[in-house]
């Protein structure tokens, strides 16, 4: 396919969680060489890019999202030479390479923090967020960690508290300090010089805090918590006004964009949570001078009702302006989509197909998480095998993220651990995944894998789906909209309910062009089986 400017706009990005993709050296943990060896599978899906979750030097207390060396590959994943080989192989297959960057916080084992915590007067003393205790010795304010408890931990050598929005081993950097901003920009430059094509920026709206350290106000009892949270987590009881979403972030995003522009067509994708994630997405991606695209957790929730999904799409269409969303229904942080939206449905394969087609027909770019192409449900990980530090303190109401992070299944061979590793994997493979492996589905002409690869190849050729406008339709229990570009008008309709639904609209001018979703047009009405859909061209 001919190279075009802004390759990311309307593109499809395949997320790889490196610990769980392929183990090439038999230690039970996935690695960079393993990824390189399976890039042909990814390219064969018809995606445009890969996004690799962190592989940097880390004590792995949060499995790589606690970085001890921003420029080093952790030995469990390989070497910088292995990374360079991965980039070269991806490029030879027509794949762009996006890597995670966790700029807001580091590991407490990073040399910067090890120096900062020693005293109040060393050259890194103000690189992290430090604050004096209240007169009674308690933390400076009521800010909470997403992972439970106070967001402040005590350091006796300084007689101060340091801020951590996540684990106490993940201290927050102070971006009010220009030296910190310059250092992190320089770390991005390091990877750009190695040939990466973009960055996924972790918790991109967490970079700044209010210097006044004001208490966050309580969340009214009748107000829903942040997307993806429940009242099992005390973090949900506050409005996060002073600890995230600060206005100073805008200037930093412009600095990052300025650096990207000096390297050509580089993509930045932000992860956004917060009080108004859609508004923040519009602000952070609009104007052509900040992020290229961003995703929120608005569809990464349990609510699969047509009303909720329609409201999210409508809000984005109303507010995003010239900004650009990236849609995801699964990733390394949430329960896999087919389990979250389908529960115990026996029609997992049907729901998996509809989910991929649905986000592929929205206006924006698309993220597919490894295993989405197989329709994998959430794995069942027993309590004694749980590794996620987020899951352990909230068990059993919240079981953490391990169930979506179990290894990819390449073969149905149980003794060979699904083709993932020669050794016992770091997380157990769900036996129910084995019959859904890549090799099994490659042999089945009616498999989810065959549908996804066929759909993505077809989508690439549809200007209306890649960059067209979107108009939502008032369609009751089903979701429907039209996309239009270059004279092409496509109608998309999806049923996320287990029972058949009809949409009477006089669709006599519609010709179904995607037949793998089992929807049909009868007498001018759209008829969708349970977990079915259709895409039709309008004349």
Q: Assess contact for 497 and 341: CB atoms under 8 A.
A: no
Q: Which of 31, 48, 74, 271 is catalytic?
A: 271
Contacts of 161 (CB under 8 A, 6+ apart): 130, 131, 132, 133, 139, 140, 152, 153, 154, 155
Spatial distance between the Cα atoms of 403 and 433, rounded to a whole number of angstroms = 12
**DSSP letter (8 states) at residue 417:** G
Burial classification of residue 25, based on how many CB atoms lie within 10 Å of its CB (0-12 exposed, 13-18 middle, 19 or more buried): middle
Give, in order, the Cα–Cα distances in Å from 173 to each of 103, 105, 142, 246. Answer: 8, 5, 19, 14
Can 317 be counted among the known catalytic residues? no
Specify which residues 50 forms β-bridges with.
Answer: 14, 97
Contacts of 14 (CB under 8 A, 6+ apart): 42, 45, 47, 49, 50, 51, 367, 368, 370
Any idea what the Cα angle at residue 442 is, between residues 439 and 447, rounded to 5°? 115
- C-alpha neighbours within 13 Å on the C-beta side of residue 30: 30
Spatial distance between the Cα atoms of 477 and 217, rounded to a whole number of angstroms = 37
Spatial distance between the Cα atoms of 189 and 248, rounded to a whole number of angstroms = 22
Structure tokens at 140: 């400076």
Q: Assess contact for 15 and 100: CB atoms under 8 A.
A: no
In 34-148, beta strands by DSSP E: 49-52, 56-57, 69-73, 96-101, 130-131
Structure tokens at 223: 């107000």
Give, in order, the Cα–Cα distances in Å from 341 to each of 277, 300, 393, 499. Answer: 21, 10, 25, 14
Q: Which of 202, 388, 430, 514 is catalytic?
A: 202
Tokens 């009303």 label which residue? 307
Q: Assess contact for 239 and 275: CB atoms under 8 A.
A: yes
Can 223 be counted among the known catalytic residues? no
- Give DSSP secondary structure letters for 274-339: SSSHHHHHHHHHGGGSS-SEEEESTTSSS---HHHHHHHHHHHHHH-TT--BEEES--TTS--HHH
The b/e string for 424-445 (b: 16+ C-beta within 10 A; e otherwise) is ebbbbbbeebbebbbebbeeee
Q: Which residues are catalytic?
A: 202, 271
């Amino acid at each position: 396919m001919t190279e075009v400017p802004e390759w990311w706009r309307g593109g499809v990005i395949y997320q790889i969680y490196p610990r769980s993709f392929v183990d090439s050296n038999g230690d039970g943990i996935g690695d960079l060489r393993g990824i390189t060896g399976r890039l042909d599978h990814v390219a064969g899906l018809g995606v445009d890019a890969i996004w690799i979750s962190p592989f940097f030097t880390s004590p792995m207390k949060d499995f790589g999202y606690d970085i001890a060396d921003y420029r080093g590959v952790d030995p469990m994943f390989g070497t910088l030479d292995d990374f360079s080989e991965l980039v070269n192989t991806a490029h030879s297959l027509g794949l762009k390479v996006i890597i995670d960057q966790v700029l807001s916080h580091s590991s407490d084992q990073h040399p910067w923090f090890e120096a900062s915590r020693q005293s109040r007067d060393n050259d890194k003393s103000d690189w992290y967020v430090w604050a004096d205790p209240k007169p009674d010795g308690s933390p400076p304010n009521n800010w909470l960690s997403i992972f439970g408890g106070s967001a402040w931990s005590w350091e006796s050598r300084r007689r101060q508290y340091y801020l951590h929005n996540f684990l106490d081993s993940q201290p927050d950097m102070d971006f009010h300090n220009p030296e910190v901003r310059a250092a992190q920009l320089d770390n991005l430059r390091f990877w750009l010089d190695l040939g990466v094509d973009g960055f996924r920026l972790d918790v991109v709206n967490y970079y700044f805090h209010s210097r006044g350290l004001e208490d966050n106000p309580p969340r009214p009892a009748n107000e829903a918590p942040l997307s993806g949270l429940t009242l099992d987590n005390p973090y949900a009881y506050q409005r996060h006004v002073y600890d995230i979403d600060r206005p100073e972030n805008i200037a930093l995003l412009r600095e990052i964009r300025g650096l990207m522009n000096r390297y050509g067509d580089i993509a930045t994708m932000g992860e956004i949570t917060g009080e108004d994630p859609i508004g923040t997405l519009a602000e952070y991606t609009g104007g052509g001078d900040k992020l290229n695209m961003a995703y929120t957790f608005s569809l990464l929730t349990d609510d699969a009702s047509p009303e909720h999904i329609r409201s999210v799409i409508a809000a984005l269409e109303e507010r995003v302006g010239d900004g650009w969303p990236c849609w995801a229904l699964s990733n390394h942080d949430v329960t896999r989509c087919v389990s979250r939206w389908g529960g115990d449905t026996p029609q997992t394969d049907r729901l998996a197909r509809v989910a991929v087609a649905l986000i592929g027909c929205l206006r924006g770019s698309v993220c597919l998480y490894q295993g989405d192409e197989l329709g994998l449900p959430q794995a069942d990980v027993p309590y004694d095998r749980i590794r996620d530090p987020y899951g352990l303190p909230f068990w059993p109401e919240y079981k953490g993220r391990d169930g979506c992070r179990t290894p990819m299944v390449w073969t149905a061979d149980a003794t060979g651990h699904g083709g993932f590793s020669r050794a016992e994997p770091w997380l157990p493979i769900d036996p129910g995944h084995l019959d859904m492996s890549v090799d099994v589905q490659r042999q089945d002409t009616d498999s989810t894998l065959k549908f996804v690869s066929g759909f993505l190849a077809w989508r690439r050729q549809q200007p209306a789906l890649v960059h067209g406008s979107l108009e939502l339709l008032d369609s009751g229990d089903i979701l429907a909209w039209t996309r239009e570009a270059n004279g092409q008008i496509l109608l998309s309709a999806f049923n996320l309910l287990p029972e058949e639904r009809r949409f009477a609209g006089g669709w006599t001018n519609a010709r179904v062009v995607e037949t793998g979703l089992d929807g049909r047009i009868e007498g001018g009405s759209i008829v969708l089986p349970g977990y079915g859909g259709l895409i039709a061209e309008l004349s």
